[in-house]
C-alpha cells in the first residue's frame, strides 16, 4: 500500500528533513535533535491545558492532543514532534479498563493473570482509532516541514503493565507467566503486538513521517529470553507497517528504543528497525561497535544531568555529539524521557548547542 499523495513523505515536506535523512542513514548538515517526553510534563503551557483534564481524556481529544504535540516544537525548535499520547491508549481503545494515576502511572482494572484472562482480550476495532487519526492530521497540517514521530509501546512493556496491574520494579509476575505458561504468554504478546501495530499504522497513514517503538521494561530480561520470547512479537508489531511506502518505495523509518537493552541492541535492530535508540548506560561509539557500524543511532544524553550546572551538562552534550560521529548517522536525544521537574529553557539551550548556535 502506498502512502497518500498528501502524506509529508510523498509531497516532499519532510523527505529531506534532518530527522528523516538521519534515520535513513544519511548524515545531514545539521544534526537533528528531539526529546522523548518533550510534549508534556515539563512545560508550563502543557500544565495549563491539563488543569481539569485527565491524561487519557487529553490523549483522545484530537484538538488538545495536537496542541500539546506542537508546544515543544514552538518552544524548543526541535527537529521533530512526537505525537502526544500514551502507550496504554490502544489498550484502552481495545476495551481494557485502564487509568493513569498521577504519580504512579498506568493502572489496570483487572490484571491479566491466567490463560483464560488472555482469551478475554478482543482485537481493536479500526473505528476506535479515529481520534488518533484526526489528531495526527491536525498536527501534520500545522508542522509544515517538521516531521511527526508516531509511537507505540512494545509488546513486552504492554504485557508487563497488563500482568502486573501497574508499574513494577522487576516485572516479576510477567516474567513468571512467561515461564509458567509459554502459550498464554505468546498469545498475550501477540495481542499486544497487534494493538500497538494498529496504533502505529493509524499514525503513519494519517501523516507521521517516522515511528518509534518503546520498550520501557525490557531491561529486566536476559538476552536469551528477549531473543526467544519477546523479539518475535516486537517484530510482529512492526509488521503492521509492512508494505506502506512512498512513491519511491521507501518505507517509513522505524526507531526501536529499549530501556536497559544494551546487551541486545543487535537483536532489537534485526526485527526490522532502521535506527536504534540507546539509553545512557553505554556510550554511542560502543553502541555503534556492537551494531557493526551500520546502524543510525539515537540518544543518549543522561536525563539526570538536565539539572546539573550548565558547564557540566554542556560538556556531556558535546561528548554525546562527538561519540555519535562514529555511527553512520545520529539523532540527538535523551537516554530516557524528560523528567517533569526539568527547566524547559535547558532543553531549548541543548537544541541550540546541537544545532551549532551556541
Q: Which of 13, 21, 37, 75 is catalytic?
A: 37
Confidence of residue 103 (pLDDT cuts 50, 70, 90): confident
86 tagged catalytic: yes
197 marked as binding residue: no
41 marked as binding residue: yes
Q: What is the pLDDT of residues 159-214, one digit of tens each?
A: 999 999 999 889 999 999 999 999 999 999 999 999 999 999 999 999 999 999 99
Q: Which of 21, 75, 86, 194 is catalytic?
A: 86
Q: Which of 13, 161, 175, 274 is catalytic?
A: 161
pLDDT for 235 equals 98
Q: Which three cell numbers stand for residue 310?
A: 550548565
Confidence of residue 246 (pLDDT cuts 50, 70, 90): confident
pLDDT for 348 equals 98
**pLDDT of 1 strictly over 80:** no
Q: Which of 41, 133, 173, 314 is catalytic?
A: 41
- 5 within a domain of the structure (yes/no): no
Q: Which three cell numbers stand for residue 286?
A: 560502543
β-pairing, 210-215 vs 148-153, is parallel
CB 81 within 8 A of CB 143: yes
CATH assignment at residue 34:
3.20.20.210
Q: What is the pLDDT of residues 6-39, one digit of tens each?
A: 999 999 999 999 999 999 999 999 999 999 999 9
**pLDDT of 217 strictly over 80:** yes
- 4 within a domain of the structure (yes/no): no
Angle at CA of residue 104, ends 102 and 106, nearest 5°: 90
With a CB cutoff of 8 Å and minimum separation 6, the contacts of 295 are 269, 273, 274, 275, 276, 288, 327, 328
37 tagged catalytic: yes
Average pLDDT over residues 106-119: 96
27 tagged catalytic: no
Kindly state the percentage of the chain with pLDDT values over 90. Answer: 92
Q: In this structure, what are the phi and psi dihedrals at residue 258, rounded to the nearest 5 degrees?
A: -130, 120
Q: Which of 50, 113, 133, 173 is catalytic?
A: 50
The upper half-sphere exposure of residue 263, i.e. CA atoms within 13 Å in the direction of its Cβ, equals 11
161 tagged catalytic: yes
Q: What is the distance between the alpha carbons of residues 267 and 11, in angstroms, rounded to a whole number?
A: 34
Q: What is the pLDDT of residues 316-333, one digit of tens each?
A: 999 999 999 999 999 999
The average confidence (pLDDT) of the chain is: 96
Average pLDDT over residues 74-85: 97
Domain count within the chain: 1
CB 296 within 8 A of CB 23: yes
The H-assigned helical ranges of 212-257 are 223-229, 231-239
- 9 within a domain of the structure (yes/no): no
Confidence of residue 51 (pLDDT cuts 50, 70, 90): confident
216 marked as binding residue: yes
Q: In this structure, what are the phi and psi dihedrals at residue 247, rounded to the nearest 5 degrees?
A: -65, -25
- 110 within a domain of the structure (yes/no): yes
Domain that residue 189 falls in: 18-355
How many C-beta atoms lie closer than 10 Å to residue 255's C-beta? Answer: 23
248 tagged catalytic: no
Q: What is the distance between the alpha carbons of residues 143 and 148, in angstroms, rounded to a whole number?
A: 8
**pLDDT of 52 strictly over 90:** no
- 218 within a domain of the structure (yes/no): yes
- 12 within a domain of the structure (yes/no): no
pLDDT for 236 equals 98
71 marked as binding residue: no
38 marked as binding residue: yes
- Quick check: helix, strand or coil at residue 296? coil
- 6 within a domain of the structure (yes/no): no
Amino acid at each position: 500500500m502506498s502512502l497518500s499523495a498528501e502524506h509529508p513523505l510523498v509531497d516532499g515536506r519532510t523527505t529531506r528533513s534532518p530527522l528523516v535523512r538521519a534515520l535513513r542513514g544519511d548524515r545531514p548538515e545539521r544534526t537533528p535533535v528531539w526529546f522523548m517526553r518533550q510534549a508534556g510534563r515539563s512545560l508550563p503551557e502543557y500544565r495549563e491545558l491539563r488543569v481539569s483534564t485527565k491524561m487519557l481524556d487529553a490523549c483522545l481529544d484530537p484538538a488538545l492532543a495536537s496542541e500539546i504535540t506542537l508546544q515543544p516544537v514552538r518552544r524548543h525548535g526541535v527537529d521533530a514532534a512526537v505525537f502526544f499520547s500514551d502507550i496504554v491508549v490502544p489498550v484502552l481503545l481495545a476495551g481494557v479498563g485502564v487509568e493513569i494515576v498521577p504519580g504512579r502511572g498506568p493502572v489496570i482494572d483487572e490484571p491479566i493473570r491466567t490463560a483464560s484472562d488472555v482469551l478475554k482480550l478482543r482485537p481493536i476495532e479500526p473505528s476506535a482509532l479515529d481520534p488518533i487519526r484526526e489528531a495526527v492530521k491536525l498536527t501534520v497540517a500545522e508542522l509544515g516541514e517538521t516531521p511527526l514521530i508516531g509511537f507505540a509501546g512494545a509488546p513486552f512493556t504492554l504485557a508487563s503493565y497488563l500482568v502486573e496491574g501497574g508499574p513494577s520494579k522487576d516485572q516479576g509476575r510477567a516474567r513468571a507467566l512467561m515461564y509458567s505458561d509459554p502459550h498464554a504468554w505468546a498469545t498475550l504478546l501477540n495481542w499486544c503486538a497487534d494493538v500497538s501495530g494498529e496504533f502505529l499504522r493509524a499514525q503513519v497513514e494519517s501523516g507521521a513521517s517516522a515511528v518509534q517503538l518503546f520498550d520501557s521494561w525490557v531491561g529486566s530480561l536476559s538476552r536469551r529470553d528477549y531473543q526467544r520470547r519477546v523479539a518475535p512479537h516486537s517484530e510482529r508489531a512492526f509488521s503492521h507497517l509492512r508494505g506502506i511506502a512512498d512513491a519511491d518505495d521507501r518505507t517509513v523509518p522505524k526507531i526501536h528504543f529499549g530501556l536497559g537493552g544494551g546487551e541486545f541492541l543487535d537483536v532489537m535492530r534485526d526485527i526490522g528497525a532502521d535506527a536504534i535508540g540507546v539509553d545512557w548506560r553505554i556510550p554511542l561509539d560502543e553502541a555503534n561497535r556492537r551494531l557493526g557500524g551500520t546502524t543510525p543511532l539515537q540518544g543518549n544524553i543522561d536525563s539526570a544531568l538536565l539539572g546539573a550546572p550548565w558547564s557540566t551538562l554542556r560538556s556531556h552534550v558535546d561528548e554525546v555529539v562527538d561519540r555519535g560521529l562514529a555511527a553512520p548517522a545520529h539523532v540527538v536525544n535523551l537516554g530516557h524521557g524528560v523528567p517533569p521537574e526539568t527547566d524547559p529553557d535547558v532543553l531549548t539551550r541543548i537544541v541550540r548547542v546541537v544545532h551549532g548556535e551556541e
